[in-house]
Structure 1
Amino acid sequence: MSRLYGDPIEVWTRDGEPAQFVWRDRLYSVRAVVDRWVVAREWWKTSETDPGERRFWRVQAGPGRVVGTYELRFDTASAGWLLLRAWD
């Protein structure tokens, strides 16, 4: 079962991939990247400086020994990260 959130998070990356993130005042370490994909915005919403992409990662991560699955999104327009979904 998954839950939808859409919460802003702070993310640290390594080699272009999420390595750690803070969600609800807890530091999560990414143990594995399960999947990744990119969704392009409509061409009329893009510019030379912003390709208008949303980059998604499904990761296994946890604040300790307990590991869950999380879906993260990076928006190139806002340069912001969101935690979109979490699985139990």
Structure 2
Amino acid sequence: MRRYDEPVQVQTDQEESPHRFLWHGRVYDIEAVLDRWVIRLPWWRRALAPDGGAWALEPDLLDEHVWRVSAVARGARAAGAGIYDLSRGRQWRLLRVGD
């Protein structure tokens, strides 16, 4: 899998699970959620972040929820689905892309 760390726009369903995302100007429809997990971020990363600080350390800001999904870009159905890791912390981010 190739590593990325880029913000993406994500649409979620009623359970807050992603079902569509926008990356590099393309819309990707999620066909299936393959796995889901939570990453506990080191507190010092949040404390040293430009938008964070010792007074902004809330427990829910230290958790990143990650979804591994199978998705296909609109208009590229013949190319098949790819595997994407989407993370939700303060914002949605694309972490990894694979085949």
What TM-score comes out, normalization by structure 2 length?
0.74
Letter aligned with residue 10 of structure 1: Q
Q: Note if 1:59 corresponds to 2:81.
A: no
Bigger proportion of residues as helix: 2
Shift of 1:16: 1.3
What is the correspondence of 1:6-85 to structure 2 with a 5 Å cutoff?
A: 6-14=5-13, 15-42=15-42, 46-47=57-58, 50-64=60-74, 65=77, 66-75=80-89, 79-85=90-96
Which residue number in structure 2 is paired with residue 87 of structure 1? 98
**Deviation larger for 22-31 or 51-60:** 51-60
Between Structure 1 and Structure 2, whose CA radius of gyration is higher?
2
Please, which runs of 5 or more residues in structure 2 have no aligned partner? 47-56
Bigger proportion of residues as strand: 1
Please, which runs of 5 or more residues in structure 1 have no aligned partner? none
Q: Number of matched residues?
A: 83
SS at match of 1:30: strand
What TM-score comes out, normalization by structure 1 length?
0.82
SS at match of 2:8: strand
**Deviation larger for 29-38 or 63-72:** 63-72
Give identity over the alignment, percent: 39
Looking at structure 2, the residues matched to 41 and 86 of structure 1 have their Cα atoms a distance apart, in angstroms, of: 21
Letter aligned with residue 93 of structure 2: L
Q: CA RMSD in A?
A: 1.8
